[in-house]
Amino acid sequence: MSDKSKYHFKFEDLKIYQKAMDFGESVDRQVRQFPNHELYALSSQFRRAADSVALNIAEGYPGSDAQFIKHINHAIHSANECVSCSTKARRRNYIDFQQDEQNREQLSELTKMMSSLRRTIIERNKTNP
């Protein structure tokens, strides 16, 4: 039995979307190890920011280029928020240095990909007004 849906959406083909989805799942696994008193604080904030990256890419994809750029910007802001969440988690000893580095590596890659996608859309609009 295949776990691939017969109902496919075009944005699901975007590598940036797939990587953002993977990062969100990684963060979800990490925050399960956080102390209970962080449940409605850092755990929730980190999970929401991580999920927001993929959600904004999906939400902006079918719209106009201007709308897509706006959502890419929101996704970049969420990725930056994840950097702060990861740092807080490391400083509070909820994750170790290596996990923080892995988070930062993934976030760096995601941010570069989103910036490149945004730049491509902007350049395309300059050459095809």
Q: Alpha-carbon distance 32 to 43, whole Å?
A: 8
pLDDT digits (tens, 9 = 90+) for 93-109: 999 999 999 999 999 99
Q: For the segment 2-17, what is each residue's pLDDT rounded down to a tens digit?
A: 578 899 999 999 999 9
**Coil, strand, or helix at residue 14?**
coil
Q: Considering only CA atoms, which of 4, 126, 12, 2 is closest in space to residue 65?
A: 126
pTM over 0.85: yes
Q: Give the Cα-Cα-Cα angle 60, 56, 13 (nearest 5 degrees).
A: 70
For residues 26-35, give the mean pLDDT. 98
